[in-house]
């Protein structure tokens, strides 16, 4: 075997440089192809009073500063309610699957009538809240301007209250990945997740 000379002319060096760049272009392009594009701004979380399951009033903007995954339950969440079981299963998976330090909060917005059938989850991660009159259909109209949602929809808001995406419950892994991506760079959850929620003064 005859080895190539160690000292090469400008043309050979240029040829090797071009070849090296071509070889590197494939993995680099593949790496950047895996990066998700920025999510668009779709709507804004309105400032409205909500009720805790204990009956206290809380302002929706009290949750700003954390990434929010929001469930809208337009009807009492019973066994026959469309999408209820799928949303509940997805939220339960997120509650245990999200990174412990990720400042991501789960909000279930329920109608005033009808009790929650899921029990009371960990309030530092998942809050059950009721929407007083005019109720969730009016809230959906206000936020999404009448755009219909699938029965198992989960809404993803960034820490500034901007609606960035709507996922179905079947897309829970993608939802978790996007929520944790939005949460990068925010203060750790331990600094934000005080279980005592601020009251709205009458």
Say how far apart CA 67 and CA 75 lie, in whole Å. 25
pLDDT under 70: residue ranges of the chain: 1-38, 114-120, 146-147, 189-202
Identify the pLDDT of residue 6: 36
Q: Are strands 162-168 and 153-157 parallel, antiparallel or unpaired?
A: antiparallel
CA atoms within 13 A on the CB side of 110: 24
Identify the pLDDT of residue 189: 66
Identify the pLDDT of residue 117: 52
- What domains are defined for the chain? 43-191 (3.40.30.10)
Closest listed residue to residue 70, CA positions, set 151, 146, 166, 134: 166
Identify the pLDDT of residue 157: 94
Residue 74 makes CB contacts below 8 A (sequence gap 6+) with 111, 135, 136, 137, 140
Identify the pLDDT of residue 38: 66
Identify the pLDDT of residue 119: 65
* E strand or H helix at 126: strand 126-131
Phi, psi values for residue 36, rounded to 5°: -75, 140
CA geometry: angle 94, 97, 99, nearest 5 deg: 110
* E strand or H helix at 154: strand 153-157
Give 3-state DSSP helix, strand, coil % of the chain, rounded to 5: 35, 20, 45
pTM of the entire predicted model? 0.74
Three-state SS for 182?
Answer: helix
**Tell me: the pLDDT tens digits for 118-162?**
666 788 899 888 888 777 777 777 777 766 788 899 999 999 999
Identify the pLDDT of residue 158: 94
Identify the pLDDT of residue 53: 76
């Amino acid at each position: 075997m005859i080895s190539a000379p160690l000292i090469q002319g400008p043309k050979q060096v240029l040829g090797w440089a071009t070849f090296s760049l071509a070889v590197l272009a494939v993995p680099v392009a593949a790496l950047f192809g895996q990066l998700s594009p920025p999510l668009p701004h779709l709507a804004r979380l309105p400032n409205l009073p909500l009720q805790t399951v204990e009956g206290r009033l809380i302002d929706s903007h009290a949750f700003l500063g954390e990434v929010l995954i929001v469930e809208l339950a337009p009807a009492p969440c019973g066994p026959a309610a469309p999408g209820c079981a799928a949303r509940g299963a997805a939220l339960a998976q997120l509650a245990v699957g999200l990174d412990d330090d990720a400042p991501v909060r789960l909000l279930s917005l329920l109608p005033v009538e009808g009790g929650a059938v899921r029990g009371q989850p960990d309030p530092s991660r998942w809050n059950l809240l009721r929407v007083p009159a005019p109720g969730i259909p009016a809230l959906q109209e206000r936020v999404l301007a009448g755009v219909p949602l699938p029965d198992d929809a989960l809404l993803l808001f960034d820490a500034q209250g901007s609606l960035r995406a709507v996922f179905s419950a079947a897309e829970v892994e993608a939802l978790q990945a996007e929520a944790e991506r939005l949460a990068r760079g925010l203060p750790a959850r331990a600094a934000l997740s005080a279980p005592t929620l601020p009251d709205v003064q009458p």
